[in-house]
């Protein structure tokens, strides 16, 4: 089994410069305007943006259900890359093992390619994450980011 077998990859090219995309991804006030699938809102409870710091976000579904998550930043290279260990909080905590997200921001002329690699510790955890709808949810969230970025450029 290779690392690729345990990894989900999602890519998107945004019509915005890399610095702006990185800023939208990392500033709490910006994140609260786009973070989460379409129809969701988000509340950033903590954003200690440094290696070892935590990001706590609560996504709020259209029915008011709250989905808390926490990430611990492992590596940050401004404005190129963020690596964080991700988990849910509450009743879902630990249910999908350790997930490590590696988010890479690359210049493509006046656009930015964002590549998200979600690395899992087992195939079972990867499958559980896929069944939960991570790819569709992330793509919906990236649609929201695209709409938000259009208001900033």
What CATH number did the domain enclosing 143 receive?
3.30.530.20
Domain count across the chain? 1
Question: Which domain covers residue 36, as residue numbers?
Answer: 3-150
Q: Contact at 8 Å (CB) between 69 and 88?
A: yes
* 149 has a pLDDT exceeding 70: yes
Residues of the chain above pLDDT 90, percent? 78
And the tokens for 30?
């910006």
> Where residue 82 falls among pLDDT bands split at 50, 70, 90?
very high
- The reported pTM is 0.91
**Res 128: pLDDT:** 87
Sorted by sequence, the CB contacts under 8 Å of residue 134 that are 6+ apart come out as: 8, 118
Phi/psi of residue 8, nearest 5 degrees: -105, 130
d(CA 86, CA 73): 9
Q: 66 is written with which tokens?
A: 């709250």
Secondary structure (H, E, C), the chain: CCHHHHEEEEEEEECCCHHHHHHHHHCHHHHHHHCCCCCCEEEEEEECCCCCCEEEEEEECCCCCEEEEEEEEEEEECCCEEEEEEEECHHHCCCCCCEEEEEEEEEECCEEEEEEEEEECCHHHHHHHHHCCHHHHHHHHHHHHHHHHHCCC
Mean pLDDT of 139-143: 97
Please name the residue that has the structure tokens 């259209």: 62
């Amino acid at each position: 089994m290779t690392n690729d077998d345990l990894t989900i990859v999602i890519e998107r090219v945004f019509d915005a410069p890399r610095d702006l995309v990185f800023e939208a991804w990392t500033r709490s006030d910006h994140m609260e305007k786009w973070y989460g699938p379409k129809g969701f809102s988000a509340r950033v409870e903590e954003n200690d943006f440094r290696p070892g710091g935590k990001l706590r976000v609560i996504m709020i579904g259209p029915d008011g259900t709250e989905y808390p998550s926490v990430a611990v930043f492992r590596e940050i290279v401004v404005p190129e890359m963020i690596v964080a260990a991700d988990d849910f909080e509450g009743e879902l905590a630990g249910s999908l093992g350790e997930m490590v997200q590696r988010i890479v921001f690359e210049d493509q002329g006046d656009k930015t390619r964002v590549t998200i690699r979600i690395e899992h510790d087992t195939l079972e955890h990867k499958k559980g994450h896929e069944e939960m709808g991570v790819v569709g949810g992330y793509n919906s969230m990236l649609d929201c980011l695209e709409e938000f970025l259009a208001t900033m450029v």
